[in-house]
Homo-oligomer: A and B are copies of this chain.
Amino acid sequence: MFDEIVHAPNRLRICAFLAVVREAEFGTLRDELGVADSVMSKHLKVLADAGYVKVTKPRGSGRVRTWAALTRAGRKAYEDHLWYLQALAADAARGPGGSTGANSGG
């Protein structure tokens, strides 16, 4: 299904990034997107709230730093979304049934 949580450009980039690195610091993500702290924080919150990323704040080693990682659901949502977009084309071919208003023959 279409997932507007991951569809938002910046969140899509966050997901894409995390899909590869598996885990990243708050500052790294923020820098990667080129957005303000507040923006990053809010997006991360949205993703975390949706259960797509897991945010951890490991202490002990100096300052508190926030790490983010895709959850299983998050990875699936991201990959499904990409798949969905591709499927759109194929789905559209079946949807209309092929007559009124649609001309696939050119």
Point out residues on A near B: beta carbons under 8 Å.
Answer: 2, 4, 7, 9, 12-13, 16-17, 19-25, 27-29, 32, 69, 82, 85-86, 88-93, 95-96, 100-104, 106
- Contact: B88 with A12, CB < 8 Å? yes
Inside 8 A of A21's CB, which chain B residues have their CB?
Answer: 92-93, 96, 102-104
Q: Whole-angstrom distance from the CB of A74 to the nearest CB of chain B?
A: 14
- Contact: A92 with B16, CB < 8 Å? yes
- Contact: A2 with B7, CB < 8 Å? no
- Contact: A102 with B16, CB < 8 Å? no
A12 to B9, CA, bound (A): 14
- Contact: B9 with A102, CB < 8 Å? no
Q: Which of the residues B28, B32, B88 comes within 8 Å of A13, measured between beta carbons?
A: B88
